[in-house]
Structure 1
Amino acid sequence: MGCDIELSPSSCRPLGPHPDSTIHSFAPHDAMPNTRPRRLLRNSKACDFCHKRRIKCQPSSLDSTRCQNCADFDLVCEFTRPSRRARSINTSNAPDANPEPRPSGRTGTAEDTWSVAKNDRNSDQPLSSTWQRFARASTPVVKKLLCLYQEIVHPIFPFFDSVHLEQRIGRLEHVHNRSFFCSVMAACAVTSARLRDGALRSSTSGAEKPFDIVPEAYYCAAEEALPDDLLHCHDFDHLRGYALLALASIQDAQIAAMQKYIGQYFTVLAINNWHDEACWPQDLSIEEIEERRRVYWSMYTLDVYSAIVWDGCVHFQEAHAKVCYPGVANVQPRASQDGTHWIVGWNFTTDLYRILEHDLSRLRSRSSKFALGGRPSIPPGSLIVSSQDLANELFSSLPAVFKQLPPATGDVNQDIYGFQAANIQATMALARIVYLTLDEDVDLDKKCSVVSDVLSTFHQVPNAYLRAISTPLIYHIGGIGTILGSVMEGPMSYSSCLRVRDLLLSMAALLESLEAVLHQSAGAAQSLRQLVSRVQEYMDSREPRATEGGDDVHRPSNLSGEGTRVTWDNAILNDLSPQFQLPEELLQDWEWPFTMSNNYLSFQF
């Protein structure tokens, strides 16, 4: 699939009024004073195409008969939908009027017209002529975005076989096939959003050229192609479309929409029994089987991830799965390093999420009021060691290529291994946070130790791969914020407060490296630094003066023994100072926007 096609700037810029939307003026009433300003009226009705996309409609500079959008995509500019203003006119004076029927009790809104356009949409119905023209005219842009999808999204969410995808696009299948059009538009929405957020691109994809892409346009197009009735949804491309729309929703922090599309994905999966390979069509090619396997396990990991971060439900547990792991054959790119294929590292990440699913289940059973079996009688700490040892054992058996974090090269065949290594490290960091919450007797030192290890790992990952993980990384960092928040709300000594301060500064530095590209994290680093300044001022006001003998009880000492603890710098700090608690007003203005909303991942004192 070629990658040398440039995007049309006019196809993505904001749109304004239609050329027919002329501005009229009227003379003031005779009884009104002449000083009254003249009121301007204009026709605000957009053409049918722009109205369906829910975007502005502006005149074309080259074609006076069409708006800019219709001219860019070579469409007929039509105004065939009924006007809402006409409903207030007496129909007896308008014999040709034929208003559309509307449900009773609803007010006239844009949603009414939108619902008429979506009536009786099923997966086996062809695209409307308007969307067919749009799909045909936008094919060069779609090819470019799908090529970039294979570079920046496919390493983590390999939903398409690149050869099969290129063949289908070459046949213009997305122009006539509603379900394939849905999955293609959703893939374009995810890709353009990742590009906006600074995702890594190869040296051959024109990375030096600016892209003016509007992800919302492709998102709306994919939504328009969804079926109205999930009971009639039997096409894998629609299933893949729901999965991609969930990813696009996460990218823009639209969590409610993400939950909606994850739920619809698993509903369609259950209706068709596609969690069992025996229920798949018998005439599938090897490439199509591998596509389905990768989509299934990708959405399993996303389902567990969302359950951890947003306190959701795990829709399909691993015990429900009768789907094999993806194999090495027929997976793009085919290149391997030292005889190891990148899909091996991808499958290992799935193993980690299967472990996470069981740890989350135990954690919720412990906290649930409806655990009929009671709490398991397991010695303290043994559960954490068991699951963590299993993860570590699996990691130790991985090929060395997945344990290294080399800089990004711009070569897709090499960087895909860096993608896997970075995703593995991020998932293991999330696992450590969940492991920590399983320990009921966790103390301040252990919390700070876990946070320090996780932050150190993220600082070692090259920024290009952190951008590849993209918005989900922000919620990984949110787990760190949850732990540090619990530390700051509890009693601390002077030395422990210093340690938390340094961890907050490390967290701020990590966020600053991402703020230039991930707009969801904007302002978070500055907020953390302001908190550190307030904490530092409070600590300075409490810092004890030297004793008469000239010794400061908080000064590092070279002596070790009872009552001392080793800190992050291997310095021995005397921790016999009295405990204190940070004032509530010191923390109440800290609006950390990415803390996880999971009630189970909390710490009690």
Structure 2
Amino acid sequence: MPSQSVQRRSQRASRACDFCHGRGLKCRRASDHRPSATDGWSGCLTCTDYGVQCTMVRPSRRRGRKPMTPRPDPDELYLKRIGQEDSRQTQGFGSLHAIHRLVQIYRDTMYQCYFPFLPEKDLLTRWDNGVPDTECPSYMLLMAICAVSSQTATLNAVFDNSLLEGIIIPASGTYFDEAVSKIPVRIAQSQDLDYLRSFGLLALYSLRCGNHSDLHRYLGLYHGLVAQHGFQDESCWPSDISVSDVDDRRRLFWCVYRLEIHSACVLGHMVRMPESQVSVLYPRITPSMDPEAQAWTAGWDYITDLFRLLEYAIFSLRGCKNRKAVLAVLCDRPAPTTLLDSLSSLKAGKPRILSLDSGFPSNRCTYMAVQITCTETLVNIMALLYCQAPAQDVMQLAERFLEEVTGAPLIMFKVASSQIVHQLLGVGHMLCNASRYYNSQYRSEAKRLIVFLGDLVKNLEHDIPSAAEAAERLLRLAETT
């Protein structure tokens, strides 16, 4: 118990001493207290009662609201987390935070919907610790991913709009030029898949830009490495790679195959590696996958099957052109109904979840349904043309296709970008060819459908750069039909 002191008049201090402040006690001072000559403070009554020395040495604090501190820049937080300086800010690549966001955009769009060039886990974690050395293939791959993603971001073609908020993304050409500058003059004897992935992404970027010269250049570099290392044959792959690595290689191979078949169909160029020369299986569907991943993988395999049929449809239609007799006997052309029978068999086994009206909420499965519809129609019309089926069958098929595709959300067209525009343009050309089978009997119907296609594509010109030119070509085609 504190000792009882002589009763004295006291008043509350305007500022508590150290002892009273630390214990939450009332600091009582004598009404007649005066600072001492030695230390400037004579003590309070509470300290006297407790028998302790009264001091006033702690620093004083200003009262009132604390000044607001500026909100930290997310780029600085990201740099602190990875422990690096943003040395590339002055090179025009934007911040590391922007690069990280572009990787997320690639996963949200191109990876899920069309071109999964590398494993998802690798995509999400590989560059968490910063940008790799500029001389390694991983850096070139990162720049190629950023080029495609920046191109996508410019069109606002993302499912998650929050990925575009609070960030300034440099022009896609900046990343593209940087990736191209890192292509070695001579690629060493290395089976690093990042070279193949980079060339595939650079070819995709060139196709979406409409630069066909660069498209052929990077597809050529890709096929050169494939031939050098026998990538088209699984028996030539290293024997010590894991099962997951095998699936990654399979998906990469079929990604570029689909890109080449698509460009061969819409641009008319040669197929450098036909399916008959390939010995690569599809990625596995395992029980450990969640149902959505299983459905997506099954749909991805289904679309790949459609592209394989599309390859044979291309060869079949091109084989109908006049050839010298000495070469014609060497051409292995399928029977007229083979393509239609194969397509019917394939469609019979299509999962219900991949149709446009399935109501499945996943963005990637919904997009896949749109892509399946377009590719099925393209293959079906080409097969009908090869069989010289009645033009009425082609018109009815195109009518059903337009009814389905016009109900798809706009974001699906924006994500597909030039790919779906090319396919719609291809359908228009085939309608024109079909109308010529029976003189002018079906030309008015074909013209109506082509005009409808032209209007549909024209409505996309503000969202897809290549749509304006494609719409003009369709409308000119309608005039000549």
Short-chain TM bin: 0.7 to 0.9
Superposition pairs of residues 485-564 of structure 1, within 5 angstroms: 485-486=432-433, 496=442, 498-522=444-468, 525=471
Find the counterpart in structure 2 of residue 30 from structure 1. Answer: none
Residue number among 295, 299, 308 corresponding to 1:345 in the alignment? 299
Task: State the distance in 2 between where 1:378 and 1:226 align.
Answer: 39
Classify the secondary structure of the residue corresponding to 1:515: coil
Over 3 Å counting, the alpha-carbon distance change for 1:152 and 1:407 in structure 2 is farther
Superposition pairs of residues 14-413 of structure 1, within 5 angstroms: 73-75=88-90, 138-155=95-112, 156-172=114-130, 174-175=132-133, 178-202=136-160, 205-207=162-164, 212-230=169-187, 232=189, 234-329=191-286, 334-337=289-292, 340-367=294-321, 369-370=323-324, 372=326, 374=328, 383-405=335-357
Q: Is the 8 A contact 1:309 1:475 kept in 2?
A: yes
Q: Is the 8 A contact 1:198 1:518 kept in 2?
A: no
Q: Is the 8 A contact 1:405 1:460 kept in 2?
A: no
Q: Which runs of 5+ in 1 are unaligned?
A: 9-69, 76-129, 533-585, 591-605
The share of aligned pairs that are identical, in percent, is 23
Larger relative helix fraction = 2
Task: State the distance in 2 between where 1:311 and 1:531 align.
Answer: 17
Over 3 Å counting, the alpha-carbon distance change for 1:308 and 1:505 in structure 2 is closer
Classify the secondary structure of the residue corresponding to 1:175: coil
- How far does the alpha carbon of each residue in 1:209-236 deviate from its partner, in whole angstroms, 9 at most, with x for none? 6754411011011101111124656421
1:474 aligns with 2:429: no
Over 3 Å counting, the alpha-carbon distance change for 1:305 and 1:196 in structure 2 is same
Q: Max radius of gyration: which structure?
A: 2
**Cα distance, 1:342 vs. partner?**
1.0
**Cα distance, 1:297 vs. partner?**
0.6
- State the one-letter code of the partner of 1:197: L
**Cα distance, 1:501 vs. partner?**
4.4
Q: Is the 8 A contact 1:293 1:326 kept in 2?
A: yes
Classify the secondary structure of the residue corresponding to 1:383: coil
Task: State the distance in 2 between where 1:330 and 1:302 align.
Answer: 29
Classify the secondary structure of the residue corresponding to 2:133: helix
Find the counterpart in structure 2 of residue 425 from structure 1. Answer: 373
Q: Is the 8 A contact 1:463 1:513 kept in 2?
A: no
Over 3 Å counting, the alpha-carbon distance change for 1:164 and 1:340 in structure 2 is closer
Q: Is the 8 A contact 1:286 1:330 kept in 2?
A: no
- State the one-letter code of the partner of 2:282: Y
- State the one-letter code of the partner of 1:190: V
Task: State the distance in 1 between where 2:142 and 2:250 align.
Answer: 19
1:454 aligns with 2:401: yes
- How far does the alpha carbon of each residue in 1:427-472 deviate from its partner, in whole angstroms, 9 at most, with x for none? 1122023213313x45543443343233233223332222222201
Q: Is the 8 A contact 1:194 1:251 kept in 2?
A: no
Q: Is the 8 A contact 2:140 2:182 kept in 1?
A: yes
**Cα distance, 1:486 vs. partner?**
4.1
Task: State the distance in 2 between where 1:384 and 1:425 align.
Answer: 23
- State the one-letter code of the partner of 1:200: V
Q: Which moved more, 1:218-227 or 1:520-529?
A: 520-529
Task: State the distance in 2 between where 1:438 and 1:372 align.
Answer: 22
- How far does the alpha carbon of each residue in 1:364-422 deviate from its partner, in whole angstroms, 9 at most, with x for none? 3332525646469999xx9343322222222221221112346796xxxx212112212
Q: How well do the aligned residues superpose, as a CA RMSD in angstroms?
A: 3.6
- State the one-letter code of the partner of 1:394: L
**Cα distance, 1:286 vs. partner?**
3.8
Classify the secondary structure of the residue corresponding to 2:323: coil
- State the one-letter code of the partner of 2:445: R
Task: State the distance in 1 between where 2:437 and 2:341 align.
Answer: 30
Task: State the distance in 2 between where 1:428 and 1:375 align.
Answer: 30
Over 3 Å counting, the alpha-carbon distance change for 1:346 and 1:470 in structure 2 is same
Task: State the distance in 2 between where 1:177 and 1:335 align.
Answer: 38
Classify the secondary structure of the residue corresponding to 2:320: helix
Classify the secondary structure of the residue corresponding to 2:219: helix
Task: State the distance in 2 between where 1:420 and 1:223 align.
Answer: 30
- State the one-letter code of the partner of 2:382: V
Aligned length: 400
**Cα distance, 1:329 vs. partner?**
4.5
